[in-house]
């Protein structure tokens, strides 16, 4: 319950801030263009706080924190008083109206840049992108990657950490191949390796793009040694103790903790044969995982945690820069996210990326809570990511969004006359139906991931 409330709270803070940024973009440019703004609202529905500003704008916080709006004086819906024509939105030039509408998404991009700038000023803890293991028969193994190699470029794009590698790899989803530039183990010698991506597919809910290629990043070592035993658990009932080292599982040597976890999860209420090392002796153990329901499926659980050996400091890095370098890094990161998002939208439309990958408010809330758990730096990164996505979504050419309005204004600029209200109304209905369909798919995916 505490986690749920934390996620909801972080979600409300994140969404409220990003909506405020978006609407402030509209508000600021509208005021600069001489348009009268009657109301600036964060949220919809009943107002829980309101204040009339000296500028004549009513500022509102509403009950439902899932959006916001800026209400401008508009002769199409308001009865204009004598002399108010010059302050009405619809009486402004088509270029001024386009600037006002485009200012919302642009404000989201500027905020993402600011968040990344601040993030890089504070410093982002990271790990050198060194390959720890290459799985046999994987795409990486066929390309000739070896343990100890460090990835320095993906398709000519410099990569300083695993996150930048992940973004770079995703952008090549659906292509035939991508070339990596790597340094050899314990050497500055640089070599190129080509990953063949013809059959590359992965489920983002189960694995990362990097692991799906067969690459295991260098990180903390998880040993098959018991660090803790939960009281009353299956492991406690089997007599397992802290310090026990698991030598074999079902008669096979065990060196990988992940294999043990996978076997346990797939064997609820089924006895497993282990051999453990304790006080210099080897002992047979029969361990029967308890059953738990996860997403309507029975999953095994034994109640032990492994011993973790932290990554040595020599492999850790801090991505921290001065004000000007941080600004450059922020610009580069923001642009990379914008281009990657547009690329993913194109692949979604082309069927290369499945609609199963769409996420809705539940996934965003979980992401907000998780990033806030890790600290300010990670929450800033999350805010920047969502801000970029919010800006791009609002540029979709759907009449209910900013992008749809921009299409109408562009047609007006070309033809010299506005699009008829009847055509606009039809467009709004079609756009609303498409948007509701996409939101429905995203919500369905969210619930399927719970």
Q: What is the pLDDT of residue 437?
A: 67
Q: Please state, for a pLDDT cut of 90, what percent of the chain lies above it.
A: 22
| 174 torsion bin: left (phi>0), alpha (psi -120 to 50), beta (else) | left
- Nearest-10 crossing angle of helices 2-32, 361-374: 100
Q: What is the pLDDT of residue 423?
A: 77
Main-chain phi, psi angles of 350, to 5 degrees: -80, -5
Position 371 confidence tier, pLDDT thresholds 50, 70, 90: very low
Residue 277 or residue 364, greater confidence: 277
Least confidently predicted of 84-93, 208-217, 267-276, 367-376: 367-376
Which regions of the chain carry the CATH code 2.30.42.10? Answer: 124-219+310-319, 221-309
CA–CA distances in Å: residue 334 to residues 61, 348, 379:
29, 21, 15
Which residues are CB-contacts of 147 (< 8 A; sequence separation ≥ 6)?
Answer: 131, 132, 133, 134, 185
Q: What is the pLDDT of residue 102?
A: 94
Q: What is the pLDDT of residue 324?
A: 93
Which residues are CB-contacts of 34 (< 8 A; sequence separation ≥ 6)?
Answer: 86, 87, 92
Q: What is the pLDDT of residue 2?
A: 53
Q: What is the pLDDT of residue 112?
A: 93
Q: Find tokens 């829980």 and name the residue.
A: 48
Instruction: Indicate which residue of 23, 142, 412, 421 is catalytic.
Output: 23
Residues 385-441 pLDDT 10s: 888 888 888 888 887 788 888 988 898 888 888 887 777 777 777 766 766 666 655
Angle at 84 between CA 423 and CA 410, to 5 degrees: 30
Main-chain phi, psi angles of 191, to 5 degrees: -135, 155
Q: What is the Cα 367 distance to its own chain's centre?
A: 7
Residue 29 predicted with pLDDT over 90: yes
Position 277 confidence tier, pLDDT thresholds 50, 70, 90: very high
State the Cα–Cα distance between residues 283 and 357, nearest whole angstrom.
46
CATH superfamily of 221-309: PDZ domain (2.30.42.10)
Q: What is the pLDDT of residue 405?
A: 86
Q: What is the pLDDT of residue 111?
A: 95
Residue 372 predicted with pLDDT over 90: no
Q: What is the mean pLDDT of residues 66-93?
A: 83
**Most confident region among 41-50, 59-68, 197-206, 279-288 by mean pLDDT:** 279-288
Which residues are CB-contacts of 253 (< 8 A; sequence separation ≥ 6)?
Answer: 247
Residue 234 predicted with pLDDT over 70: yes
Residues 300-354 pLDDT 10s: 898 999 998 888 888 888 888 999 999 999 999 899 888 888 877 776 666 655 5
Is 163 a residue of the active site?
no
Domain 124-219+310-319 architecture: Roll (2.30)
Q: What is the pLDDT of residue 330?
A: 92
CA–CA distances in Å: residue 70 to residues 100, 185, 190, 408:
11, 57, 54, 19
Q: What is the pLDDT of residue 436?
A: 66
Which residues are CB-contacts of 444 (< 8 A; sequence separation ≥ 6)?
Answer: none
Q: What is the pLDDT of residue 174?
A: 79
State the Cα–Cα distance between residues 246 and 225, nearest whole angstrom.
6
Q: What is the pLDDT of residue 374?
A: 56
Position 361 confidence tier, pLDDT thresholds 50, 70, 90: very low
């Amino acid at each position: 319950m505490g986690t749920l409330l934390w996620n909801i709270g972080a979600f409300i803070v994140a969404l409220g801030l990003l909506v405020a940024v978006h609407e402030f973009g509209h508000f600021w440019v509208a005021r600069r263009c001489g348009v009268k703004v009657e109301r600036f609202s964060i949220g919809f529905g009943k107002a829980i706080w309101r204040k009339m500003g000296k500028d004549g704008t009513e500022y509102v916080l509403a009950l439902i924190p899932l959006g916001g709006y800026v209400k401008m004086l508009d002769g199409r819906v308001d009865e204009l008083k004598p002399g108010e024509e010059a302050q009405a939105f619809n009486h402004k030039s088509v270029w001024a109206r386009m600037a006002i509408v485009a200012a919302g998404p642009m404000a989201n991009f500027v905020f993402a840049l600011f968040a990344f700038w601040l993030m890089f000023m504070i410093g982002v803890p990271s790990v050198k992108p060194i390959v720890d293991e290459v799985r046999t028969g994987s795409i990486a193994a066929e390309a000739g990657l070896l343990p100890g190699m460090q990835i320095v470029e993906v398709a000519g794009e410099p990569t300083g950490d695993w996150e930048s590698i992940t973004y770079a790899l995703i952008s090549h989803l659906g292509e035939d191949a991508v070339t990596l530039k790597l340094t050899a183990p314990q050497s500055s010698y640089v070599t190129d390796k080509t990953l063949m991506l013809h059959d590359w597919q992965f489920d983002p809910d189960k694995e990362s793009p990097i692991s799906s290629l067969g690459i295991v990043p260098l990180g903390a070592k998880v040993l098959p040694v018991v660090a803790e035993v939960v009281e009353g658990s299956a492991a406690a009932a089997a007599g397992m103790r802290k310090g026990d080292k698991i030598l074999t599982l079902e008669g096979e040597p065990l060196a990988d903790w992940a294999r043990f976890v996978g076997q346990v999860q797939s064997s609820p209420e089924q006895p497993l044969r282990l051999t453990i090392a304790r006080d210099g002796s080897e002992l047979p153990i029969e361990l029967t995982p308890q059953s738990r329901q996860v997403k309507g499926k029975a999953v095994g659980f034994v109640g032990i945690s492994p011993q973790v050996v932290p990554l040595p400091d020599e492999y850790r890095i801090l991505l921290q820069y001065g004000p000007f370098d941080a600004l450059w890094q922020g610009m580069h990161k923001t642009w990379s996210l914008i281009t990657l998002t547009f690329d993913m939208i194109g692949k979604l439309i082309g069927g290369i990326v499945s609609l199963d990958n769409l996420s809705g408010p539940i996934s965003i809330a979980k992401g907000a809570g998780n990033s806030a758990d890790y600290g300010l730096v990670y929450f800033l990164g999350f805010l920047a990511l969502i801000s970029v996505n919010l800006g791009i979504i609002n540029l979709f050419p759907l009449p209910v969004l900013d992008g749809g309005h921009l299409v109408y204004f562009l047609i007006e600029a070309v033809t010299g006359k506005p699009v008829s209200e009847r055509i606009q109304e039809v467009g709004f209905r079609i756009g609303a139906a498409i948007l509701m369909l996409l939101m429905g798919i995203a919500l369905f995916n969210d619930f399927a991931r719970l």
